[in-house]
Structure 1
Amino acid sequence: MAREKGTVNKVFHQWTDEEKEYLRKITLGKHHREILELMNQKFKYQFNLMQIKGAINRYKLKTGFTGRYEKGNIPFNKNTKGLIGPNKTSFKKGQKPLNHRPVGSERITVDGYTEIKTSEPDKWELKHRLIYEKEKGKIPDDYAIVFADGNKQNLDINNLISVSRYQLLIMNQKKLIKDDADLTKTGAILANVLVKINERKRDI
């Protein structure tokens, strides 16, 4: 299988054809951090934000965003359950394509995630991330959200766990993500302990 190299912290990562193909499939219409989360949940190797941005540029892929929206600053209002803002950039009368979907529309990705349209012309974001950030605050860089019970359609805030990419790597390797919420939450705690142990070993 053909591979290409990317770097992170001076350690080479060779991109597999499967990784590149999946990146091409999910990039359009998503922010870099959303792409990072999907890649890290799909593959055992844990990418970082610089790798994702570099690969997108290297393979000449398009997210569909200009960059000024990349931080995910979305206006919230109660009429749309706090997840989307007013539609100030809608098409003029007679210009909407036949397949146009209004702000607030939802769709399910091929991987089972719910996306919600947050603004025109075609800005979609992962709904579980919006819910988490509305309730808990901004998700740190290189962090992912795990569904505690394994059900990607259960968007209850209590089912969403924020973990670092290192925690997620350990959870995937040791199969700590279960279909039982309590077991997964315990697994996240265990993974965090193992991360700290590994960090201390490196400092010795």
Structure 2
Amino acid sequence: MKGRQIQYSEQELCFIKSHCTLPRRELTDRFNAQFDRALEVSHIAALCKRKGWLTGRTGQFVKGEASWNAGTKGVMKPNSGNFKKGHVPQNHKPVGSERINVEGYVEIKTQEPNVYELKHRVVYQEHFGAIPPGTNVSFLDGDPLNCAPDNLIAISRAESLFINRSKLSGLTGNLKVVAKNLAAMNVKKHERAKAV
């Protein structure tokens, strides 16, 4: 009936006005049964809205009326979505589990609940001791998935800066070790020149 105005008789309007406090579904059903019409809930609701015939419900509690959840402040009752004590989720990974992060590095779970560290740094620390501050662990073959101890090398940020500026960052294997040693000498030279 969209686009056409619905005509109501005076008797129909009086019926709707006198029963406007009913829920709109019930009002529509009663109206259609009484007057043998086939109107939808939206038609009756629109008429009541236009005429200002409200249901009288404000959505607020009347003073002195108790709400359905009165006295349950702070109470969380168990439901189907709650975990039981000791429950282990399906996607739980034990300590030692590995994953590849968005940058392509392998991460290893080192603590519960979800503490992950870069695997190449963990392996380096296990085999060569603590990583000095301001030092990065790099891969000799350039493959971030190869975390073997003989593939890892510690390069300071100053050395890394020299290697990148000299366009030596693409080197792999023994050439990377040579580039690191060259960078270390250059950093020492720069530090001595700065001290004088």
Query: Normalised by the shorter chain, which TM-score bucket?
Result: 0.5 to 0.7
- Give the number of aligned pairs: 113
Q: Does 1:146 align with 2:138?
A: yes
Distance 1:183 1:92, change over 3 A: farther
Q: Does 1:93 align with 2:90?
A: no
Quote how far apart the aligned CAs of 1:103 are: 1.3
Does the aligned pair in 2 maintain the 1:149–1:178 contact within 8 Å?
A: no
Higher strand share: 1
Equivalent residue of 1:171, what SS? helix
Q: Unaligned stretches of 5+ in structure 2?
A: 1-83
Equivalent residue of 2:168, what SS? coil
Structure ranking higher on relative contact order (CA contacts 8 Å, 6+ apart): 1
Quote how far apart the aligned CAs of 1:98 are: 4.1
User: What's the RMSD between the two structures over aligned residues?
Assistant: 1.7
Give identity over the alignment, percent.
43
Equivalent residue of 1:139, what SS? coil
Whole-angstrom distance in 2 between the partners of 1:145 and 1:174: 19
Whole-angstrom distance in 2 between the partners of 1:149 and 1:179: 8
Q: Does 1:125 align with 2:125?
A: no
Equivalent residue of 1:134, what SS? helix
Match of residue 102, structure 2, among 110, 116, 124: 110
TM-score by length of 2: 0.54
Match of residue 156, structure 1, among 140, 148, 152: 148
Whole-angstrom distance in 2 between the partners of 1:148 and 1:108: 19
Distance 1:132 1:183, change over 3 A: same
TM-score by length of 1: 0.52
Match of residue 190, structure 2, among 192, 195, 198: 198
Whole-angstrom distance in 2 between the partners of 1:173 and 1:97: 48
Matched residue, 2:45: none
Match of residue 158, structure 2, among 132, 143, 166: 166
Whole-angstrom distance in 2 between the partners of 1:179 and 1:97: 44
Equivalent residue of 2:127, what SS? helix
Whole-angstrom distance in 2 between the partners of 1:92 and 1:170: 55
Q: Unaligned stretches of 5+ in structure 1?
A: 1-90
Whole-angstrom distance in 2 between the partners of 1:195 and 1:179: 19
